[in-house]
Chain A
Amino acid sequence: MAEWTPDQPLVSIRDVHKSFGELEVLKGVSLDVRKGEVICIIGPSGSGKSTLIRCINALNDIQAGSILVEGIEVHDPDLDKLELRKKVGMVFQQYNLFPHKTALENIMMAPIKVLKEDPEEVKKRARALLKKVRLEGKEDAYPGELSGGQQQRVAIARSLAMRPDVMLFDEVTAALDPETVKEVLITIKDLAEDGMTCILVTHEMGFAREVADHIYFTDRGVIVEHGPPATFFKKAKDPRTREFLSQIL
């Protein structure tokens, strides 16, 4: 395996096939994400977009094809999952905070337990991250005491604490009340502006249009069409894309 250099794509997906039993969810998907790029994957539900990003950090395995993250082959059976997960952060639709730990503890847990870092240093970093996601003063709150939007921002901070090179966002605003969606989106936008490589699965078209460098439209397990937002939203060629956009916009 060749050494990865920053001029190569950070994430490189080639002809990925994935099926759950009889049901084929991904039928040959390929895409590249360069360092610092923000890409959005959109498409109707059941089109395989969530499955795709779950494959990137090996929560799901794939049947064929290859996924490279900084030169690490995710599909390798001898994959060092810890190495991969240090590089890839993930935020879930339902936040999945650990309910028995405070916000600060949620953020500190993985660096201390998994990376065995110095607790004092981690604590400083965790506080800084909470500040970054605009949740100062919520250090000692338990997830159950926070709103959905606040929980989701803690979840983002928790992923960032592992200092990943790429962040995956799996429909992170879909479970939120409309009024809290915005605070989460602002947090993600801040991240993108800081140069974090992001892969988002989202239904927020306005947001995608504003922050994404590239948009991919998936339907029934394949990428139907992709392009920069300016051309994608105005000049979609494929009828399926046009139909989807007309329903959602």
Chain B
Amino acid sequence: MEDFFRQLAAEAPRWNFIFFYDERSWNRIVEGLYYTLILSVACVILSVVIGVVGAWAQGSPSRLLRNIVQGYIQFFRNTPPFVQLLFFYFALGQFTPTYSPDGWLQVPIISNVGWAIISLSFFAGAFNVEIFRAGIEAVPDSTREAAEALGFSRMQTYTEIVFPLAFRVSLPALNNNLVNLIKTTTQAFAIAVPELLYQCVTIWNDYPSAQYPTMLLLFVVYIGLVGILVFGMHKWERALRIPGYGV
């Protein structure tokens, strides 16, 4: 297999699949994939948590809390995620406390990967708050009332009745937003997070002959990641479907 790609590179100079036979390049791709996955998984989880908490806070009786959440949504929804990333990492990152693991170097407690996760999660989380809130609003008051009449507390009504129903309503929109989030993780490139795009760019800077193959790889990986997410979400959607209500 390795020989095949070596030969291909020799015969077709634009199709140098260097990462299939050069170990260093291969390791770069693996590392890039690893970081892309870390970013995707961490941001998906964190942004969903932000969405759930935010949507719950939006239904709170405290006006102040609602305004804070509203302000958060507005700020993160209306500015480019790319500039947010720069703002978080460069502007806010300079105030991060540092620690010294070896007694010599001062390392900020939040790394560039950490900032990328925070920034992207808050970006996608702003959408998720709105998505979940719409789902919660789709649950009729009368269903909530029925739970109340049975003696459920506010918290129980939310966790047992409102949220399970709202979540099902929210799934398609959530799915869409998470796809967008995975695509947006590439922008962490700008703060030198060694994710897949970053690694591919270093590879094609080192080996211009490997440009086409790395592009192909990028397409395949991102379409694949998005495909896995969409497939998983559809499966989940179907598993959660309530009998008797399907179209």
Contact = CB atoms under 8 A, between A and B. Distances in A.
A touching B, CB within 8 angstroms = yes
B160 A109 contact: yes
Given A96-B143, A144-B243, A145-B244, A113 B160 contact: yes
B77 to A, nearest CB: 30
A143 B165 CA distance: 14
Contacts of B150: 85, 109-110, 114, 158-159, 162
Nearest to B142: A96
Interface in B128-148: 140, 142-143, 145-148
A59 B245 CA distance: 28
Interface stretch (A19-27, A86-94, A239-247): A86-94
Contacts of B161: 98
B151 A142 contact: no
Interface residues of A, number: 31
Contact of B143 (A81, A98, A109, A113): A98
A82 B150 CA distance: 8
A100 B165 contact: yes
A98 B245 contact: no
Interface of B: 140, 142-143, 145-153, 156, 160-161, 164-165, 168, 242-245
17 contacts: A59-B145, A81-B151, A82-B153, A85-B149, A90-B149, A92-B142, A94-B142, A97-B146, A99-B244, A100-B168, A109-B150, A110-B152, A113-B160, A114-B151, A141-B244, A142-B242, A159-B149
Interface of A: 57, 59, 81-82, 85-86, 88-90, 92, 94, 96-100, 109-110, 113-115, 141-146, 155, 158-159, 162
